[in-house]
Chains A and B, each alone.
Chain A
Amino acid sequence: MTTLNRDHAIRQLRQMLLIRRFEEKSAELYSAMKIRGFLHLYIGEEAVAVGVMSVLSAEDAVVATYREHGQALARGMSAGSIMAEMYGKKEGCCLGRGGSMHLFDAATRFYGGNAIVGGGLPLTVGLALADTMQGRSQVTCCFFGDGAVAEGNFHESMNLAALWKLPVLFVCENNLYAMGTALRYTQANQDIAAKAASYGMAAAAVDGMDVMAVEEAAGKAVAHVRQGSGPYLLECRTYRFRPHSMFDTELYRTKAEVDEWKQRDPIEILADRLVAAGLFTAEEKEKLEREVAAEIEAAVAFAEAGTWEPVEDLTRFVTSERREA
């Protein structure tokens, strides 16, 4: 186990807490109809985004799914721009055009946000291809779920990445359910990490509830990719404590199972570890909570105060506004 670095761990704790409280707030706002459409919460999976982002650098690229608030926050997008986006406001990261499922940010090389399961995998391959062809050594990291493993795009992308030895980190967030269908009903072989072998690709599986474990595993994976050894599949075994989306009665899993997984809350795991090592106090946790609460409150205020994109701009950005010479 990696040595506990206090500052680093507390930063990670704060990030996970930010994600947690942000998601809880989003649920409240969705219930109050401030946020509309679909809302997919990352609660329970925070360690995966935070752990992986810890080993990615600013030059790297990130592609994610519709359950991407955690990745977006961990990547460095502001809570305000995400919240405003979900409110549909012009001040949101995408002018309010994308909403919860389509967060994009050029500044942090965050390529969405994708409502099509597996839709981002080929895009990832392409980004990595561009890096290879232009002699750049950065990594493209793609987050996707266990459901995406069934899609043709997964197999095509894994094959292409391995075939062309592209610098891709495939991160599968295996939360055991593709919407309402358990893994055992979707995969003949439920061992996702093992699938990489059929493409000649390196892989590992890791406990996705433990941010330190995730960071360590991701670190190894990224090192592999950066040194030009080809792509890597990292399966993070995790669990979402909330339903698939807001409008889901969870008929497909038992409360007992959820409660059992809640015993392994990634935030508690790290906090307990810090406290046990004498590196963290209850007061410090309180302080973190207050900071996070303030940040979220500011984000909500920002979103509330936001404005609507004028309808006259509807047809803007169907095509680029500036043409290259």
Chain B
Amino acid sequence: MGEFRMPSLGADMETGKLVEWLVTPGQPVQRGDIVALVETQKGLFEIEVFEDGIMGEPLVQAGQTVPVGTVLAMISSGTEAAARTEVQAEPPAAPAAAPPAESPVVPPVAAPLAGSPGRFACSPSARRLALELDVDLATVRGTGPGGAIQRSDIEEVATARKAGAAPVVALEKPVAAAPIQPMDAETSAARMRQAIAAAVSRSNREIPHYYLETEIDLSRPLQWLAAENQKRSIQERVLPVALMLKAVAKALRDVPELNGYWLEDRLQVKTEIHIGFAVALRQGGLISPALHQVDRLSIDELMRAMADLIERTRAGRLRGSEVTDATVSVTNLGDRGVKTVHGVIYPPQVALVGFGRIAERPWAEGGMLGVRPCVTATLAADHRATDGHQGALFLEALNRHLQLPEEL
């Protein structure tokens, strides 16, 4: 019993419409005989049988369109009686033994580097370099096209760090990043506010702050200062704030957990102590440029550095590293008349030290009441990084160092 199927007549023939049977069931046919007419997109074809036999009942009727390979009729050999079994007009089995559909070997694609912080426009090479040099991209300001971070930006950070600078802290989000440069006052102020807004919002959102404060008796340091300043010219005079900053730096040596960054769910303690100290700008707004390695500066060096920094800050001539390097911040609002500063930490820093005004206060000691020049020192700290215990230790150390001004 042979199967007479809808033939494939061309590569793009998928179906054929049986238009007319040219033979009748029971009719003997020979190989090569035309038995039906089939219509395709190319037109009308006569289709032939490829074997001798007796034509069976049509399984596909005139007018039907069927896929190529569909059995149209059975052809019995001459000796058999035509079987009456119903054969369904099924679509054919898939063409015999199609070759395995394997795709040719595809060249391997390098796996992407894991672990880079996302979100910043950064060249691939800079990103890799940052990983190698342990530079936090979040702290880098980019100077490439469109503000993208480039290798040179990473290299600058790394070089600064080698010279003692810590990895940088971004004050502004890189998306709005622009190198500090002279610009018109209004734009500058607006930008400033935006940046501050972003920073404090983020701080408020992300950092669980805790606050500690202490009253520090400044009589000894101020006395020492007065004596020192007598030996100096007006220009070389040392201000109390220098003592405070130096004391902060030394106290941070004692409690290093307050000098570092909270990144990727852990505290990265920094060995260099760069104190960002807030400088108010005339046009409004605030910048906290970093004084580098305060713990290693003498009081005079510190004074000079401060003066220089303030001048350049107000003139808009800060270096990138000065904007981004601070490992801790100090806010001194004493000259504004504020008693106590409850600050907001600049992420990813974990502490902010505040000083209020120096004012005379009643002081009880040894059962005696006196009047001492005092300052309220506050610590705002990130509770993820430290507890009140460390914070208290810090403030205690701060006081201790201030009481020994000759060693600052």
Question: Do A and B belong to a common assembly?
Answer: yes
Encode contact with B along A290-325: 1 for CB under 8 Å, 0 otherwise. Answer: 000000000000000000100110110000000000
CB contacts under 8 Å to B, within A33-77, are 33-34, 36-38
Q: How far is the CA of A194 from the CA of B105 in the complex (A)?
A: 55
Of the residues A24, A245, A251, contact of B32 by C-beta under 8 Å: A24
Q: Do A314 and B99 touch across chains, with their CB atoms under 8 A apart?
A: no
Inter-chain contacts of B11 with A (CB < 8 A): 36-38, 247
Inter-chain contacts of B45 with A (CB < 8 A): 249
Inter-chain contacts of B12 with A (CB < 8 A): 247
Do A32 and B43 contact each other (CB < 8 Å), given the known contacts A247-B13, A314-B104? no
Q: How far is the CA of A36 from the CA of B99 in the complex (A)?
A: 13
Interface residue? A30 (CB, 8 A) = yes
In the assembled complex, how far is the CB of residue B75 from the closest CB belonging to chain A, in whole angstroms? Answer: 13
Of the residues A31, A249, A251, A312, contact of B8 by C-beta under 8 Å: A31
Do A33 and B104 contact each other (CB < 8 Å), given the known contacts A28-B50, A249-B42? no
Interface residue? B357 (CB, 8 A) = no
Q: How far is the CA of A307 from the CA of B118 in the complex (A)?
A: 52
Q: Do B7 and A308 touch across chains, with their CB atoms under 8 A apart?
A: no
Q: How far is the CA of A65 from the CA of B222 in the complex (A)?
A: 108
Q: Do B105 and A247 touch across chains, with their CB atoms under 8 A apart?
A: no
Q: How far is the CA of A308 from the CA of B5 in the complex (A)?
A: 26
Inter-chain contacts of A284 with B (CB < 8 A): none
Chain B at the A interface: SS class? loop
Interface residue? B112 (CB, 8 A) = no
Q: How far is the CA of A207 from the CA of B12 in the complex (A)?
A: 36
Inter-chain contacts of B9 with A (CB < 8 A): 30-31, 246-247
Encode contact with B along A224-257: 1 for CB under 8 Å, 0 otherwise. Answer: 0000000000000000000001111101000000
Interface residue? B102 (CB, 8 A) = yes
Interface residue? B96 (CB, 8 A) = yes
Query: Which residue, of A28, A37, A315, has the highest number of chain B Cβ atoms within 10 A?
Result: A28
In the assembled complex, how far is the CB of residue A116 from the closest CB belonging to chain B, in whole angstroms? Answer: 18
Encode contact with B along A159-178: 1 for CB under 8 Å, 0 otherwise. Answer: 00000000000000000000
In the assembled complex, how far is the CB of residue A31 from the closest CB belonging to chain B, in whole angstroms? Answer: 3
Q: Do A311 and B102 touch across chains, with their CB atoms under 8 A apart?
A: yes
Q: How far is the CA of A24 from the CA of B32 in the complex (A)?
A: 9
In the assembled complex, how far is the CB of residue B103 from the closest CB belonging to chain A, in whole angstroms? Answer: 8
Q: Do A248 and B42 touch across chains, with their CB atoms under 8 A apart?
A: yes
In the assembled complex, how far is the CB of residue B52 from the closest CB belonging to chain A, in whole angstroms? Answer: 13
In the assembled complex, how far is the CB of residue B13 from the closest CB belonging to chain A, in whole angstroms? Answer: 6
Q: How far is the CA of A245 from the CA of B13 in the complex (A)?
A: 13
Encode contact with A along B187-219: 1 for CB under 8 Å, 0 otherwise. Answer: 000000000000000000000000000000000
In the assembled complex, how far is the CB of residue B210 from the closest CB belonging to chain A, in whole angstroms? Answer: 66
Interface residue? B68 (CB, 8 A) = yes
Q: How far is the CA of A132 from the CA of B7 in the complex (A)?
A: 49
Interface residue? B356 (CB, 8 A) = no
Inter-chain contacts of A249 with B (CB < 8 A): 40, 42-45
Query: Which residue, of A31, A88, A245, A251, has the highest number of chain B Cβ atoms within 10 A?
Result: A31
Q: How far is the CA of A1 from the CA of B365 in the complex (A)?
A: 146
Do A31 and B42 contact each other (CB < 8 Å), given the known contacts A311-B100, A311-B102, A312-B105? no
Interface residue? B174 (CB, 8 A) = no
Task: Give the size of the chain A interface in residues (CB under 8 angstroms).
Answer: 22
CB contacts under 8 Å to A, within B22-44, are 32, 40, 42-44
Q: Do B68 and A33 touch across chains, with their CB atoms under 8 A apart?
A: yes
Inter-chain contacts of B367 with A (CB < 8 A): none
CB closest residue in chain A, given B3: A32
Inter-chain contacts of A311 with B (CB < 8 A): 99-100, 102-104
Q: Do B69 and A33 touch across chains, with their CB atoms under 8 A apart?
A: yes
Q: Do B42 and A247 touch across chains, with their CB atoms under 8 A apart?
A: yes
Q: How far is the CA of A38 from the CA of B10 in the complex (A)?
A: 7
In the assembled complex, how far is the CB of residue A85 from the closest CB belonging to chain B, in whole angstroms? Answer: 15
Q: Do B8 and A30 touch across chains, with their CB atoms under 8 A apart?
A: yes
Q: Do B10 and A247 touch across chains, with their CB atoms under 8 A apart?
A: yes
Interface residue? B366 (CB, 8 A) = no
In the assembled complex, how far is the CB of residue A91 from the closest CB belonging to chain B, in whole angstroms? Answer: 14
In the assembled complex, how far is the CB of residue B98 from the closest CB belonging to chain A, in whole angstroms? Answer: 9
Q: How far is the CA of A311 from the CA of B12 in the complex (A)?
A: 24
Q: Do B99 and A308 touch across chains, with their CB atoms under 8 A apart?
A: yes
Interface residue? B95 (CB, 8 A) = yes
Inter-chain contacts of B47 with A (CB < 8 A): 31
Q: Do B104 and A32 touch across chains, with their CB atoms under 8 A apart?
A: no
Q: Do B8 and A33 touch across chains, with their CB atoms under 8 A apart?
A: yes
Encode contact with A along B104-120: 1 for CB under 8 Å, 0 otherwise. Answer: 11000000000000000
Q: Do A32 and B8 touch across chains, with their CB atoms under 8 A apart?
A: yes
Q: Do B96 and A34 touch across chains, with their CB atoms under 8 A apart?
A: yes
Inter-chain contacts of A312 with B (CB < 8 A): 104-105
Q: How far is the CA of A251 from the CA of B44 in the complex (A)?
A: 9
Q: Do A251 and B7 touch across chains, with their CB atoms under 8 A apart?
A: no
Inter-chain contacts of A31 with B (CB < 8 A): 5, 7-9, 47, 50
Inter-chain contacts of A315 with B (CB < 8 A): 104
CB closest residue in chain B, given A251: B43
Q: How far is the CA of A74 from the CA of B11 in the complex (A)?
A: 28
CB closest residue in chain A, given B69: A33
Q: How far is the CA of A30 from the CA of B8 in the complex (A)?
A: 7
Q: How far is the CA of A33 from the CA of B7 in the complex (A)?
A: 8
Q: How far is the CA of A39 from the CA of B8 in the complex (A)?
A: 11
Query: Which residue, of B11, B32, B43, B100, has the highest number of chain A Cβ atoms within 10 A?
Result: B11
CB closest residue in chain A, given B47: A31
CB closest residue in chain B, given A36: B11
In the assembled complex, how far is the CB of residue B99 from the closest CB belonging to chain A, in whole angstroms? Answer: 4
Inter-chain contacts of A24 with B (CB < 8 A): 32
CB contacts under 8 Å to B, within A4-24, are 24
Inter-chain contacts of B100 with A (CB < 8 A): 308, 311
Inter-chain contacts of A36 with B (CB < 8 A): 11
In the assembled complex, how far is the CB of residue A252 from the closest CB belonging to chain B, in whole angstroms? Answer: 11
Q: How far is the CA of A88 from the CA of B96 in the complex (A)?
A: 12
Q: How far is the CA of A88 from the CA of B98 in the complex (A)?
A: 10
Q: List 15 A-B contacts (CB under 8 A).
A: A32-B5, A32-B8, A32-B69, A34-B95, A34-B96, A38-B10, A245-B10, A246-B10, A247-B12, A249-B40, A249-B42, A249-B44, A251-B43, A311-B102, A314-B104
Chain B residues proximal to chain A, CB less than 8 Å: 5, 7-13, 32, 40, 42-45, 47, 50, 68-69, 95-96, 99-100, 102-105
Identify 4 new A-B residue pairs, CB closer than 8 A, beyond the known A38-B11, A247-B40, A249-B40.
A38-B10, A246-B9, A251-B43, A311-B102
Ranked nearest first, the 3 interchain pairs of A and B with the lowest CB-CB distance are A247-B10, A31-B7, A249-B43
